[in-house]
Structure 1
Amino acid sequence: MNGLSFSELCCLFCCPPCPNRIAAKLAFLPPEPTYEFSSDENGKCTYTLAERAEWQYSDRDKEKLEGFFTRTSRGNKIACLYVRCSPTAKFTILFSHGNAVDLGQMSSFYLGLGSRINCNIFSYDYSGYGVSEGKPSEKNLYADIDAAWQALRTRYGISPENIILYGQSIGTVPTVDLAARYEVGAVILHSPLMSGMRVAFPNTKRTWFFDAFPSIDKVSKVMSPTLVIHGTEDEVIDFSHGLTIFEKCPRAVEPLWVEGAGHNDVELYNVYLERLKQFVSVELIN
């Protein structure tokens, strides 16, 4: 069998959880918004950070941040952020963040990361996060990244070959979904999950019809160079998820397994930045 206990099997077959319940239980923890958007009479958006966003740079550096709204196919108005990190950047990263943060909290990280690896960064808040409308759900995740992708393409005129899709944790779910449908410059999957059921019940060997986030069934369709990053001591999404996703990627490059890292501290290890620099400025150029 698949390693589930008898009581777990009974529960699944007698009252299988709906995907949105799995999704809500495993994934969505939107914080109190740490930023605001305000529009002037010309419709131009001003992006204002709250103190809780913990901005680490100068006030002048805030001029590198451009915020605006776009609307998804499911009718939600979602917040987008473009961070101009480098005037010489070849690539723009479309970044799908983790589950318990919003754009305000990620702003300093985006500016620091983009500046160090010579990429501009475009990100968005999922429905129900930050100042984005609606509620978090699996279907909204896919609609959210589609709207962000379209905004990045049309508003900034950036070609797919110059876009790197970066997903972290729950953000790997919409990233894999989009990457399975569009070929891009590259894909980075940071602490990816195989599926919701495989996180909740680690011995699950197949994808049930009610499973949420079935990235494991989509990743074989990703035809762009793919870098997988995972901490070996990840306490939220087991390291085995990263290994299996890596094995299923048709164009996987050398992965980054961060020895001793957990779910939320991979970025603190020197090898993280070193591997990203090598991937973006050497492997993708050559």
Structure 2
Amino acid sequence: MGGVTSTIAARFAFFPPTPPSYTVVADAATGRLLIPEISRPPARRRRRDGGGDSSSGAAAAEEEDATEVVRLRTRRGNEIVAVYVRHARASATLLYSHGNAADLGQMYGLFVELSRRLRVNIFGYDYAGYGRSTGKPTEYNTYADIEAAYNCLKEKYGVPDEDIILYGQSVGSGPTIDLAARLPNLRAVVLHSPILSGLRVLYPVKKTFWFDILEC
């Protein structure tokens, strides 16, 4: 019974964009994963004197080179998509768990802007069932998703806990708190418009029900 009611609660809590706003392809020459909707060759503007590319074109090229797309296998058997936006002078890395009704294609512009303005690296990922990630969006899948993202930062990119800031927005506050509770040496934890629980997204209930999800 608990599984059935939790599934119903999950349907109220998770709203992945349909269809996804992006696709993932492999570059034929390098095998590098790309999101065509965001990984376009930079638009290069000509100087008025007809000379070479402007500095904005060079900046766009650097931005594209600094973004990496990866697929990660979670402990629950799903394959999730993540993007790593790097800043040359980053002082920290944000592990960003985005809000509801959004996916990486829609979030990428914000990631780039945050990276530039805050001088940080941004590692964002799509939950199971969001974007091009496989599986279904459930409470326990989100916990496995953020764990896979964290492990990637540690194992693939060598980022220490002391440089990681967990950033959870809306429904992303659930997996953010779950992971943060097990990592005492993080740089910081940021909760942006956090939810109280899955049911409380839609209903102003004051009780905690046994079948509720993402209780923060």
TM-score with structure 2 setting the length: 0.82
Note if 1:89 corresponds to 2:86. Answer: no
Provide the rounded CA distance (Å) in 1 between the counterparts of 2:21 and 2:139.
Answer: 23
- Residues 15 and 77 of structure 1, relative CA distance in 2, 3 Å threshold: closer
Aligned counterpart, 1:35: 22
Note if 1:26 corresponds to 2:7. Answer: no
Provide structure 1 residue ranges, at least 5 long, that are not aligned to the other structure. 1-13, 52-56, 216-286
Provide the rounded CA distance (Å) in 2 between the counterparts of 1:187 and 1:125.
Answer: 19
Tell me, yes or no, if the aligned pair for 1:145 and 1:174 is still in contact at 8 Å: yes
Instruction: Give runs of aligned pairs for residues 173-188 of structure 1, distance below 5 A.
Output: 173-183=174-184, 184-188=186-190
Root-mean-square deviation (Å):
2.4
Tell me, yes or no, if the aligned pair for 2:16 and 2:131 is still in contact at 8 Å: no
Give % identity.
44
- Residues 87 and 41 of structure 1, relative CA distance in 2, 3 Å threshold: closer
Instruction: Give runs of aligned pairs for residues 202-281 of structure 1, distance below 5 A.
Output: 202-205=204-207, 207-215=208-216
Q: Secondary structure at the match of 2:70?
A: strand
Aligned counterpart, 1:125: 126
Provide the rounded CA distance (Å) in 1 between the counterparts of 2:79 and 2:145.
Answer: 9
Provide the rounded CA distance (Å) in 2 between the counterparts of 1:175 and 1:96.
Answer: 7
What is the count of residue pairs matched by the alignment?
A: 195
Shift of 1:122: 0.3
Shift of 1:103: 0.6
Aligned counterpart, 1:235: none
Which structure carries more relative contact order (alpha carbon 8 Å, separation 6+)?
2
Shift of 1:186: 0.4
Shift of 1:32: 1.9
Match of 1:192 among 179, 191, 194: 194
Shift of 1:36: 2.1
Aligned AA for 2:200? R
More helix by share: 1
TM-score with structure 1 setting the length: 0.63
Provide structure 2 residue ranges, at least 5 long, that are not aligned to the other structure. 40-55
